[in-house]
Chains A and B, each alone.
Chain A
Amino acid sequence: MLNPDLDSITLTNEEYERYSRHLILPEVGLAGQKKLKAASVLCVGTGGLGSPLALYLAAAGIGRMGLVDFDVVDASNLQRQIIHGTSWIGKPKVASAQHRLLELNPFMQIDIHETALTSENALEIAKDYDLIIDGTDNFPTRYLVNDTCVLLGKPNVYGSIFRFEGQATVFNYEGGPCYRCLYPEPPPPGLVPSCAEGGVLGILPGVIGVIQATEAVKIILGGATTLSGRLLLYDAWNMKFRELKLRKNPQCPLCGDHPTITELIDYQVFCGISDVEEQPTVAEATVQQLQERLAQGTIVLVDVRNPHEYEIAHIPGSVLVPLGDIESGPGVEQVRALAQGSELWVHCKSGMRSAKALAVLADKGIVGTNVKGGILAWAEQIDPSMPKY
């Protein structure tokens, strides 16, 4: 709990030794260390942001930590998700994180929630924690975390990343703004490029996650100046920090003067993501069919990934025309010329960007076939010597 009865909390001799550098720091001291021990923190996500922040919070002596994640450790996570190790690939992230955190600090309690946070379980899971840390990677869960925090009256320590850029702040703390005050609505799917397409510098979530951990510790200790009311922007490429003022919106539908949102909603719908997505109907083919047709020499294969992805690996015989060029125009005529007189097949990394490209091309009167699963499926099923990325 926050502001606990300090007399009721005791440290063991092992804990005095472990937290020595905190205990001799006047701003923490024995009282602060007891506050940390009495505190409970819920980390939503044990990925890029969750990894560093959970490690530092565990080391700092947080008494109880909850971890929410439905995912399993993947090799491509290890470039930034430093709580997980190679031997945990394929195993649940919450189990991996719990194991690592208890190795770091056996004096704490870890509660694991191996599930996605949903409108059905969020209030029940979050109610037992003093503060919530948003280490998620998608808009629906970010709005869910925010709304849960406001409805339960708990601080929301926010961090978000894209490529080389990060944002951090504290929402819903001491009368300050919430996420909806900053961004009333999420972007519709597809309008903003995702990190999975754009990539992310592995160290970036380390910096942002550690800022989130710092804010969490300060909220527990009390007395420090938090990021509430300020949005911190971090540009790793130019190594610049900037900050912007963040104000509570009196018209905020959630935390404003006359709230209209009084319970959790369907965040998939709110974010414009529906199960029955209106996929443009494009013809699809498997990588086995692709191999056959390439051998026959009866198709032209266009690869719509970016040049640096083509450099990592490409299917022999494919021609690179990046999706960006197709969307902005010049690529369309390039594809039209290529497809003159032969059948057009298109692929990307996993099949999403190529479907997008075919939808754009269809508007310009060019039809083609999408290769299901993209070059990843090719690497798995046709050419195992090809690197997957």
Chain B
Amino acid sequence: MTKVIIPTPLRRYTANQEALDLQGATIAEVLVQLTTQYSDLKKHLYTEEGALRNFVNVYLNDEDIRHLQKGETPVQATDIVSIVPSIAGGAHA
């Protein structure tokens, strides 16, 4: 099981869970598990074409997966996956 940290703006789609333990050998597999379990999250992470959105970054420990093997990046049980969306602050979006 790999720990996935859910950021505050997306917790409303994960029943307010801050972190989840998920199965998967790669980042993509872990995220599929996540969006299968919490389907409302899917449109916030992926475009309609299935690509990770440009304002959502995924990190394996402290490294951006864009600089690793993206979705194919292997994950170990001891790894921590973080989802970090861009946040702007107080104004009405």
Contacts and interface: CB of A to CB of B under 8 A. Distances in A.
Interface in A122-157: 136-139, 142
A183 B57 contact: yes
A266 interface: no
Interface string A192-233: 111110101000000000000000000000000000000101
B33 to A, nearest CB: 20
Contacts of A336: none
A195 B57 CA distance: 20
A192 B62 contact: no
Contacts of B67: 245, 247
Contacts of B86: 139, 160, 182-183, 186-187, 192
A344 interface: no
A47 interface: yes
B17 to A, nearest CB: 13
A187 B62 contact: no
Contact of A162 (B8, B54, B62): B8
Contacts, number: 104
Given A137-B89, A138-B91, A193 B9 contact: yes
Contacts of A190: 93
Contact of A182 (B40, B57, B90, B92): B57
Given A191-B44, A193-B12, A244-B59, A47 B90 contact: yes
Contacts of B55: 183, 185-187, 192
A189 interface: yes
Interface residues of B, number: 28
B48 to A, nearest CB: 12
Nearest to B44: A191
Given A164-B8, A184-B54, A245-B63, A233 B84 contact: yes
Contacts of A189: 93
A40 to B, nearest CB: 24
Interface in A341-373: 352
A242 B18 CA distance: 15
Given A191-B44, A244-B62, A138 B89 contact: yes
Nearest to B43: A191
A246 B62 CA distance: 9
B64 A187 contact: no
B7 A165 contact: yes
B24 interface: no
Contacts of B18: 238
B59 A139 contact: no
B64 A192 contact: no
B64 A136 contact: no
A136 B91 CA distance: 9
B91 A165 contact: no
A343 B59 CA distance: 49
Interface in B74-89: 82, 84-89
Interface in A152-192: 160-165, 167, 182-187, 189-192
Nearest to A205: B89
Contact of A200 (B62, B64, B90): B90
B75 to A, nearest CB: 16
B84 A136 contact: no
A184 B57 CA distance: 10
Most B Cβ at <10 Å: residue of A189, A198, A244, A324: A244
Nearest to A167: B87
A48 B89 contact: yes
A274 interface: no
Contacts of A231: 84
Q: Which 10 A-B pairs rank lowest in CB-CB distance, beginning with the nearest?
A: A137-B89, A185-B54, A138-B91, A194-B93, A195-B90, A162-B87, A137-B90, A183-B86, A137-B91, A187-B55
Interface of B: 7-9, 12, 18, 40, 43-44, 53-55, 57, 59, 62-64, 67, 82, 84-93
6 contacts: A139-B86, A192-B44, A242-B62, A245-B62, A246-B64, A328-B40
